[in-house]
Amino acid sequence: MSENPSLRETERDVALNGPLESVSLSGLGTGPALIVLGAVHGNENCGPNAIRRAMAACRSGELLIRRGDVTFVPVANPKAYLQQTREGDRNLNRDLREKPAPVDYEDRIGNRLCALLRRHDVLLDVHSFRSEGEPFVFFGPENNQGTLEAFRHAEAEGALAACLGTGIAIHGWLENYARLLAARARIGLPAVAISEGYGTTEYIRFSGGYGVTLECGSHDDPASTEVGYAAIVNTLAHLGLTDGPRPERRPQTVIHVVDIIVCEAEGDRLEGSWRTGDAVAAGALIARRANGEPVTAPCPGYIIFPHAAAKPGEGICHFGVASARRI
């Protein structure tokens, strides 16, 4: 089909200028409103694949929605998905908020996405990652009334995170993003507000709900679609939208990300072939500065999102420690 230039042009026009597709099913009984997002990053195909499979299962009755509402957004970023790139014009999962005067593609999509998120109570955002490693879930802060991310659904969010089927749960994203921004300022990159670190889960917490980011494993791992689909099935059962036994809470390795090693100059690089979730001993060599200076683990911990090709201003990897939180 795609050899035909006019069809290819139409496909492109739909992706760049077409609507944001969402499909909602309303159960006949009352229950919470769940939204499931895929392809917030366009090269993470496990989300669209898992969500389309779940949509078909809902229509066939294999997954019968009896209560509440579920909205599926298989492709949250159609431009990036068409291109099979992480971003269209920019990262949709940053600085996500309503913008009355949108300036780029993600601003326009973000306005529609924020409106959708506001209408829902719970978010499952399905992603995959560049490096190798076990699937894991990002969840949010403890209940608090602070200025960074006020929140009151920590218990419900933790319970959701623990039943998706993964065994690693990570928190501390926004505080760590502030560390990244501080490092960028140190090397003279333009200052940006902390709202840069706000993505889909931060937005739904802001609008009164809760949500988690599921990282289904490596982009290219076909198993990532299975991880995503199992998590959707578990979420529907956990929230009572479908019947059947509630999924068990898996024991979690809970990791608090407490630092980010930032590439501050050309030549700063990762040392070794780390995978996301790898445990490291105190003193282990993680990275090396361009001048040869080693960067070592300050205490026992974990490597998250190692990025061998990080450029100045990007994270070489996040560093986490065993968390005192239990979910």
| Binding interface with Zn ion (CB under 5 A) | 41, 44, 127
H helices of the chain, in order, are 5-17, 46-60, 78-83, 105-118, 154-162, 173-186, 200-206, 223-238
**Beta carbon of residue 127, minimum distance to Zn ion (angstroms, whole number):** 3
**Beta carbon of residue 78, minimum distance to Zn ion (angstroms, whole number):** 15
**Beta carbon of residue 198, minimum distance to Zn ion (angstroms, whole number):** 15
| Smaller CB separation from Zn ion, 46 or 162 | 46
Q: How many Å apart are CA 166 and CA 251, to the nearest integer? A: 9
For tokens 């306005």, name the residue.
111
Type of residue numbered 321: V
For tokens 């040392």, name the residue.
271
Can you read off the two tokens belonging to residue 3?
């050899």
Q: Would you say the C-alpha torsion 226, 157, 120, 146 has a positive or negative sign?
A: negative
**Beta carbon of residue 44, minimum distance to Zn ion (angstroms, whole number):** 5
Type of residue numbered 116: L
The rounded radius of gyration (Å) of the Cα atoms in the chain is: 20
| Smaller CB separation from Zn ion, 31 or 211 | 211
**Beta carbon of residue 148, minimum distance to Zn ion (angstroms, whole number):** 22
200 within 8 A of 211, measured Cβ to Cβ: yes
| Smaller CB separation from Zn ion, 44 or 202 | 44
Q: Max CA-CA distance within the chain?
A: 64
| Smaller CB separation from Zn ion, 44 or 87 | 44
**Beta carbon of residue 299, minimum distance to Zn ion (angstroms, whole number):** 28
| Smaller CB separation from Zn ion, 15 or 37 | 37
Q: How far is CA 299 from CA 12, 47, 222, in A?
A: 49, 35, 34
Query: In this chain, which residue has its C-beta nearest to Zn ion?
Result: 127
| Smaller CB separation from Zn ion, 214 or 239 | 214
